[in-house]
Structure 1
Amino acid sequence: MNRQQEDWSNYSIVVLGLARSGVAVAKLLHQLGAKVIANDVKPREKCPEAEELERLGIPVILGMHPEDLIHDGIDLIVKNPGIPYHVHPVQEALKRNIPVVTEVEIAGRLSKAPIIGITGSNGKTTTTTLVGKMLTAGGFKAKVAGNIGQALTEVVQDLSADEWLVAELSSFQLKGVQTFRPRIGALLNLVSAHLDYHQTMEDYIASKQRLFQNQSSTDLAVLNRDSQVCVEISQSISSTIWWFSRHQEVEQGVYVKDGWIVAKKSGEECRKILSVSEVALRGSFNLENALAATAIALACACPIGAIQETLRSFAGVEHRLEYVETIDGVKYYNNSKATNAQAAEKSLEAFTEPVVLIAGGLDRGVDFKELVPIFKEKVKAIITYGQTAPIFIERAKDAGITDRYKVADVKEAVIKASELAQSGDVVLLSPACASWDMYTSFEERGSIFKQAVHSLNNKKLV
C-alpha cells in the first residue's frame, strides 16, 4: 500500500507532549481517523492548546503520566522530540515493543512532496532558509518547516508531488524516525552538543545518521568534506554523495577555489557560481552554510541565477549573527542562537574588530577551555551571566582578559558593554550556552538583547 494511503483508522495512538508539534500531529492523526489520546505532564493552566484538542473530540490527560496510559491496545507513541526516553510511558512502550516515533516520522509517511532534510549541530536554520529562498527564486514551489516555523504535520497534507518540503531537523526529532526517507539529506557538521539528552556522543551521531538510513542510490546525501565525522559517516551511506568544502576540492559537489564558490559533477570541469566576496552572509561558518545550500539547490535543478541572487541578498536569520544597530561607532550583533562553544567560536572568527563578548547561560558541564585561544585573539572584554558565569570568568583569566564582569542578566550586560566598548568595537551576544537557566528560549534571550540595545540609543535621543 502507498504510505500516503495508509489506513489510520485502525490505530490507537498516544501523543506525548503537546506544544506545537504535539498539537499538530494529534489533530492530523485524528483527522485521518486514528483513535488519539494526548498527554502532557504540564498542568492545564500551562496547556491552553488542550481546549482546542478537546473541542475536536480528542481526550487530553494533563498534569501527569498515568500508570495505565500505555498498554497492549496502543499501536503507536508519537512523542514530543524534547521528551527524554527515560520517562515512564516511553520506557513502558519500548518494553511492550510499541513503536515510539516523533512527528517527523508521521510527516514522512504522509508526504506526497519530496523532502529535503537538513541537520547538523550548527547552521541548520540558516541553510534551510537559504534553500527555501533559492528554490522559490528559481520558480519552484517550496515550503520550509520542521524545527523552524511550522511543524511538519501542520503543512504536509497541503503539499503536492510537484513541491519541495524543506525540513530543518534536530537530533531529537531524528532519533524518533523509522521509515523516514528524504530525497535529499544534508549533514552540515557534528560537534559535541545535547549530551544532557543523548548521554553519549555515539548516540548523538547515531541520531543524526538516521537521516540517511532509508536512502538508496537514487537519493542524495550532502555532506561536509571538512568534517572528519561526516567523512566517517559517509562510509555507511547508501545514497549518492555530494560534498561541500571550504578547504579542498571535491570530486562531486560545491567548494571554494581561488575565492570563488564553484560546483563540480563527477567527470566534469568545475563551474563558477559566485565570488565569495559577494556572499551577503558574514563569517566562515555562514560560507559553509552557503556551500551546502548551493549544493542542495543545484541538486534540485535550481537555476544558477536564482542561487546567485539569493546568496547576494540574504543577510541572515534573526538571532544568528544578526546586526542590530551602530551606536557611537560601536556595532551590536545578536548571535543568541550560539548555544554551544563551537558556534560561539565561529561567530568570533567572523570579526576583525575588537569584541566585547556577552556570554553565559545553562550549565551543561562544559569547561569552555577550547575557547581560550579565540578569546586571546578576538576578545577585549567579557561580560557574563547565568549558571556558567564563574566558568567564563575563569576562561577570561586564562586568556589574559582583564576586563571581565559578572552581571545579573542580558539587559545589564548590554549596559555594561556600552560602557566598555569604544568606537570601532563590536559588542557581540554569543552565549555558547542554552538559555533555559534564565530565559524560555534563545529567541527570548536575543529579543531582550535587541531591546536593550535599542534602549541605549533611545536614551541618547531623550
Structure 2
Amino acid sequence: MDKQKILVLGTGRSGVAAAKQILAMGGEVIFFDKNPKVEDRALLSQFKKKDKVSLIKGKLLASDLLHINASVISPGIPLDEPYVKMLSTAQIPIIGEIELAYQSSKGKLCAVTGTNGKTTTVSLIGEILKSEYSDTHVVGNIGNPFTAEALETEEQSATVCEVSSFQLETIVDFHPNVSAITNITPDHLDRHKTMKNYIAVKESIAENQEEEDSIVLNYMDPELRKFGKKRSLKPKVLWFSSEEEPKDTKEKESLFLRGDTFYYKKEDKEEKLFTTKDVHLLGKHNYENILCAVGVGLKMGVPMDKIIKVCKKFKPVEHRIEFVRERSGVKYYNDSKGTNVDAAIQALRAMPGPVVLIGGGYDKHVDFDPWVKEFKGRVKYLVLIGETRNQIAETAKKNGFQNVMFAEDMDEAVKDCAAYADPGDYVLLSPACASWGMFKDYEERGRIFKDCVKNL
C-alpha cells in the first residue's frame, strides 16, 4: 500500500486500527463517517502529525473518490449502504479490516466464528497457544483489532482471530490454517435478512482453506453436521460433541463429552482428558466451548498435556456468565455478552437455582419464543429494559409467564431484582438482545450492571 490512497469507512476502533496499519505500510488514509458530528480533533489526535490522514464526514461525493486506490470497511457498516454501493459502481476494491490484516500477517493462523461461544472459545485458545508459542496474538471481534497486531507477527507467531459474520462478508484471501464454527442459530437477521444468507456467511470462513488445513465443527449443530459432510469442503474435519460420540463420519478423530468426562478419540483409541468438575466454566454450552478450543489447539500443534493443564486453570471471561457477588444469600451473574436468544438460553440453563432475570435491549428482529419457553420452572421474575421490552413482555404473557416488570435503567432493574430475589436465588443479566440504544456496547452494559450490584 506504499503511496496508495485508501478510503477507510468508519472512525471507530477497527477503522482507526486499520488506518494505523495502512500508514505503517506507507499509505495515505482518508476517513469517511456519515455522522456529521464526528469530531475531527478527537479522531486526528490518535495519529502523529506527520501521518497523512484526513476526514470526510456527512456525505461522500463521487468527486471524493478521485485517486482512491482501495477502501477498507468497518464491520459495523452494512454493505447495502448507498455510499458503499457507490464504491462498487466506481470499481474501487472493498475489503474488511480482517482481510487487510491477513494480507500482511505472518505465522500460523486459526479463526473462530459461530453465533455463540466465540469469545470464551477464543480466549481459551489464546491461553492454549501461549503454552506452546512464545509469540501469540489474540485478535479480532474479541476487542483487539487484527490490524493492531498484524505487522508485529513473525513466521514463528501463532494468532487466533475471533471473526463475526459482519467481518466474513468482506474476506477475499483470508485463509486460516485451522478454522472453527461453534454453532449457528438465528442472529443478526436485521442485517443478513435470511437464515440462508447468515449460514452461508458463517460457513465462508473455510472457503479459502485447502486439504492440508483443518476445521473444527460442532457435531450437535444440524447445519454444521450437513456442512461438515459436504464433498466441496476441503479442510479435514475434527468433530466435537457435548451429547454423543460423533459417528457415521469419514473422520476417525473426535472430541466429546460422555457423562461428566471429556474424551479425545483417534482411530479406535480413547483418551480421558478431564471431567466437568476439573474446570471453572458452567453449563453445557461452555463444555462445547472447551471441546472446540481443545480441537483447535491440537490442530495448531499444541501437545495434549499442555492443553489439559490450561483448560483446568481457565476461568470465565468478563461478561459471559461472570460471577459478580453474593449478597443476602443471592448470587449475581453478569452475562451481558448474551446478546441473542440462544446465548441467553444457555446462560439460563447454566443457573443451578431459581432465577430473577434482566432482559431486553436493541431490536435485531428475532423471535423470543424459544427463550421465553425456557422460563418455566427456572425464572421467578423477569425485569425488562430497552426497546424490545414490550415485545418480550407480550411474548412472555402469550406463553403463560406473568411475572414481568419494566425498568427505566440498569440501576432500577438491579434494585427490582434485589427486592424480589430470595436467599438461594440467582440474579442474572442475560438480555437476549444487543446493547445499542441504551449503552455503547455489551461491555459498558456489563460494567454498569456490576457497578449497580456492588452498590446495593
Give TM-score, length-normalised by structure 1. Answer: 0.92
Matched, 1:169 2:158: no
Select 2:136's aligned residue among 124, 142, 155: 142
Matched, 1:159 2:153: yes
The residue type equivalent to 2:411 in the other structure is K
Partner of 1:4: none
**Cα distance per residue 1:422-444 (max 9 Å; x no partner):** 00000000100111121111111
Partner of 1:328: 328
CA RMSD of aligned residues (A): 1.8
Cα offset, 1:31, TM superposition: 2.2
Structure 1 regions of 5+ residues with no counterpart?
A: 1-7, 457-462
**Cα distance per residue 1:298-329 (max 9 Å; x no partner):** 11232323222222222211110000000010
Partner of 1:459: none
Cα offset, 1:392, TM superposition: 2.4
Matched, 1:243 2:236: no
Partner of 1:5: none
Cα offset, 1:100, TM superposition: 1.1
Cα offset, 1:33, TM superposition: 2.2
Partner of 2:13: 20
The separation in 2 between residues aligned to 1:279 and 1:398, in whole angstroms, is 39
Alpha-carbon spacing, 1:416–1:258, altered in 2? closer, same or farther (3 Å): closer
The separation in 1 between residues aligned to 2:397 and 2:38, in whole angstroms, is 47
Matched, 1:123 2:117: yes
The separation in 2 between residues aligned to 1:256 and 1:167, in whole angstroms, is 25
The separation in 2 between residues aligned to 1:399 and 1:202, in whole angstroms, is 28
Alpha-carbon spacing, 1:120–1:46, altered in 2? closer, same or farther (3 Å): farther
Matched-pair contact (CA < 8 Å) for 1:116–1:182: yes
**Cα distance per residue 1:171-230 (max 9 Å; x no partner):** 111111000100111111111111112222222222212211110011111111111111
Matched-pair contact (CA < 8 Å) for 1:367–1:391: no
The residue type equivalent to 1:110 in the other structure is S
Structure 2 regions of 5+ residues with no counterpart?
A: 247-251
Cα offset, 1:453, TM superposition: 0.6
Matched-pair contact (CA < 8 Å) for 2:133–2:157: no
Matched-pair contact (CA < 8 Å) for 2:285–2:346: yes
Matched-pair contact (CA < 8 Å) for 1:38–1:58: no
The separation in 2 between residues aligned to 1:80 and 1:69, in whole angstroms, is 22
Alpha-carbon spacing, 1:344–1:393, altered in 2? closer, same or farther (3 Å): same
The separation in 1 between residues aligned to 2:239 and 2:291, in whole angstroms, is 9
Give TM-score, length-normalised by structure 2. Answer: 0.94
Cα offset, 1:52, TM superposition: 3.3
Matched-pair contact (CA < 8 Å) for 2:111–2:161: yes
Partner of 2:249: none
Alpha-carbon spacing, 1:53–1:38, altered in 2? closer, same or farther (3 Å): farther
Matched-pair contact (CA < 8 Å) for 1:372–1:398: no
Partner of 2:188: 194
The separation in 2 between residues aligned to 1:382 and 1:376, in whole angstroms, is 12
The residue type equivalent to 1:26 in the other structure is A
Matched, 1:219 2:213: yes
Select 2:100's aligned residue among 95, 101, 106: 106
SS of the counterpart of 1:377?
Answer: coil
Matched-pair contact (CA < 8 Å) for 2:189–2:365: no
SS of the counterpart of 1:271?
Answer: strand
Matched-pair contact (CA < 8 Å) for 1:380–1:401: no
Partner of 1:276: 276
Cα offset, 1:69, TM superposition: 5.3
SS of the counterpart of 2:256?
Answer: strand
Structure 1 residues 76-91: aligned runs within 5 Å: 76-91=70-85
The number of equivalent residue pairs is: 448
Cα offset, 1:70, TM superposition: 5.8
SS of the counterpart of 2:2?
Answer: helix
SS of the counterpart of 2:46?
Answer: helix
Matched-pair contact (CA < 8 Å) for 2:9–2:15: yes
**Cα distance per residue 1:83-121 (max 9 Å; x no partner):** 111223310122233321111111111111211101111
Cα offset, 1:46, TM superposition: 7.4
Matched-pair contact (CA < 8 Å) for 1:18–1:47: no
The residue type equivalent to 2:260 in the other structure is G
The separation in 2 between residues aligned to 1:64 and 1:103, in whole angstroms, is 22
Partner of 2:263: 262
The separation in 1 between residues aligned to 2:20 and 2:410, in whole angstroms, is 38
